[in-house]
Copies of this chain bind each other. A is one copy, B any other.
Amino acid sequence: MSEDKDIDIDLISSLLHKGESKLLEETLSSFHPVDVASLMNELPLDDIKEIFYLLSPKISSEIIMDLNEEAVEAILEDMESKRVSEIVDYLASDDAADLLGTLSKREANEVLELISAEDTKQIRDLMQFEEDTAGGIMQAEIVTVNVDARVHEAISMLRGIKDSMDDVHNIFVIDQDQRLVGVLPVRRLVLVEPDTPITEIMDHEFVSSHFAQDQEEVARIFKKYDLISLPVVDDDGRLLGRITVDDVVDVMEEEASEDIFKMIGAGADDIIPMSIMKSAKSRLPWLFASCVGGIVALKIIGGFENTLGQFVSLASFMPVILGMGGNVGTQSTTIIVRGLALGSVEPRMIWKLIFKEVRVGFMLGVFYSLLLAAAAQIIYPDTLHLSLIVGLSMCIAMTVAATMGTMMPILLHKMGADPAVATGPFVTTSIDIIGILIFFNIATFILM
C-alpha cells in the first residue's frame, strides 16, 4: 500500500449529485477512512450529511472522529438515536465519550440506553473527567492480569480477547484491590517459559498518571520517557484506564497550535474550518486591547503636538521605530512562550533569561540605530539632531521591547495564567506606547 492516495473530489461530488449512491459507497470504501474524512471536511455540510448516510455504521465509526466539529454537529443533529448507538458501539470508549459529549444530555442518554450496560458504564465514567486531563483523553479498554498469575494464564486470557488486541502493547498487572503494581509488555510473554510467574517479567518500576493531570503534562511524560502507553490511576493508585501514544500525538499538535493561535490572539481552536462569522468573532476580542492601546498611544502623541508641529519630520520615524520594537519584542515573547511550553525554560532560569534578552535586545538595538541614524542623515542632511534622536530612541526602544517581551509571558506564567494568551497583540501595543513616550520625550528634550 502506498501511504497516500488522493481522492478525486470532483468525482465524488458528481457521483453524489447524479444519485449514484451504490458506486459512491464502493469508491469511498476503497480508501483509508482518514482520507475519506479529510475529503468530506472540504464538502458542503449538506453533501457531508448525504454521504454519511450511505456508509455502514462500522465505516461511519472510522470516519466520524476525523470530521470537523461543524460536520459532526450537522450529522448528529438529524440522526436517530438507534443509528448513533450503532456507530458508538464500534468506537473506543474515549472516542464514544467525546462524541456523546457533543450531544445534549437527553440525547446522550437516549443513545446510551441502546448500547450494552457494560459499555454504557465505561462511557458514563469517562464523560465525567475534564476534557483536557489524563482522564479526559484516556480510554477504558485495558487488558489486566492478576499479580499472582503465570505467563500461560496471561496468554490464554489474551487469546480470549483476540479481536480487540490490535493496539495492546502492555498488560497492566493489578493486585486484589485493583491497584496497579506492574506493567508487562506483551512481547515478553513469548520470551519465557509458560509457567514463569508474571511478577518475574513485569516492570515493577513504571510511570503512571493521575486522572486529573493536565494533558500537556501527560504529553511531556510520553516524550520524556519515550512511552507508547501510559496507565491512568486514581488517588489510591487504582487503575482507571490507559492513554496511548497516538492520542498524545494529537494532544501535542493541538497544544502547539493552541499556543501559537493564542499568542496572536486568535482563540485556541483551529480556525480554518470555522465559518466567517465564528472566525471573526474569535479574533475580535483579542484585537480590542490592541485598539484601546492604540487610542492611548494617539492621546499621548496628541500631547506632543507642539513638538511635532515644529518638526513634522519626526512623524516619519514613528513607524520604523515602533515596528522594529514590535518585531524584537515578538521574537522574545515567542521564544519564551515556546520554551515554557516545551519545558526548556524553567522558573529558576528566569533572571538569567531576562538579563540575556536585555543584552540581545541592546546589541540588536545598537546595530539598527546606527543604520537608522545613517538613513536619517542621508534623508535629512541639514540636521544632526534628528539622527541623534532616532538613533537613541531606536536603541532604547529595542532594548525595552526585548525586555518586556521576555518578562510578559514569564509574569503571566508566575501568576498562574497562560503565558500564551494574546501576548502577541499585548506586547506590540505596549511597545507602541512605550516607544512613543521614549521617542517624543527624547525629541522634546533635544529640540525644545
Chain A interfacial positions (CB closer than 8 Å to B): 1, 3-4, 9, 32, 34, 38, 42, 155, 158-159, 162, 165-169, 185-191, 205-209, 221-228, 245-246, 248-250, 252-253, 256-257, 260-261, 264-266, 270-273, 276-277, 279-280, 283-284, 287, 290-291, 293-295, 297-299, 301-302, 305, 308-309, 312-313, 315-324, 326-328, 330-331, 334-335, 338-339, 342-346, 348-349, 353, 356, 359-360, 363-364, 367-368, 371-372, 375, 379, 424-425, 428-429, 432, 436
Name the B residues within 8 Å of A246 (CB-CB): 223, 226-228
Bound-state CA distance A276–B358 (Å) is: 10
- In whole Å, how far is A206's beta carbon from the nearest beta carbon of chain B? 6
Q: Is the CB of A223 within 8 A of B250?
A: yes
Instruction: Pick 28 A–B contacts, CB within 8 A, sort by A.
Output: A3-B221, A9-B348, A34-B225, A155-B190, A165-B188, A228-B228, A257-B338, A260-B334, A264-B327, A270-B339, A270-B344, A276-B356, A280-B360, A287-B328, A290-B323, A290-B327, A291-B324, A291-B372, A293-B323, A294-B323, A297-B320, A298-B316, A298-B319, A298-B320, A305-B313, A312-B315, A319-B432, A327-B424
> Quick one: which of A320, A363, A364 has the most chain B CB within 10 A?
A320
In the complex, the count of this chain's copies comes to: 2
Q: Is the CB of B169 within 8 A of A187?
A: yes
- In whole Å, how far is A172's beta carbon from the nearest beta carbon of chain B? 15
Bound-state CA distance A319–B293 (Å) is: 10
Name the B residues within 8 Å of A253 (CB-CB): 223, 252, 256, 342
Bound-state CA distance A424–B424 (Å) is: 11
Name the B residues within 8 Å of A429 (CB-CB): 323
Q: Is the CB of A209 within 8 A of B298?
A: no
Q: Is the CB of B375 within 8 A of A295?
A: yes
Name the B residues within 8 Å of A3 (CB-CB): 207-209, 221, 225
**With A297-B320, A379-B298 in contact, is A330–B424 under 8 Å at CB?**
yes
Which residue in B158, B293, B326, B359 is a CB contact (below 8 Å) of A428? B326
10 more A-B contacts (CB under 8 A) besides A252-B253, A253-B256, A276-B359? A32-B224, A42-B346, A165-B187, A187-B189, A245-B245, A260-B338, A287-B324, A298-B316, A319-B432, A322-B323
Q: Is the CB of A264 within 8 A of B372?
A: no
Return the chain B residue nearest A398 by Cβ: B287
Q: Is the CB of B323 within 8 A of A360?
A: no
Q: Is the CB of A295 within 8 A of B318?
A: no
- In whole Å, how far is A126's beta carbon from the nearest beta carbon of chain B? 19
> Quick one: which of A186, A327, A331 has the most chain B CB within 10 A?
A327
Which residue in B228, B248, B348 is a CB contact (below 8 Å) of A169? B228
Name the B residues within 8 Å of A425 (CB-CB): 327
Bound-state CA distance A326–B287 (Å) is: 11
Q: Is the CB of B224 within 8 A of A34?
A: yes
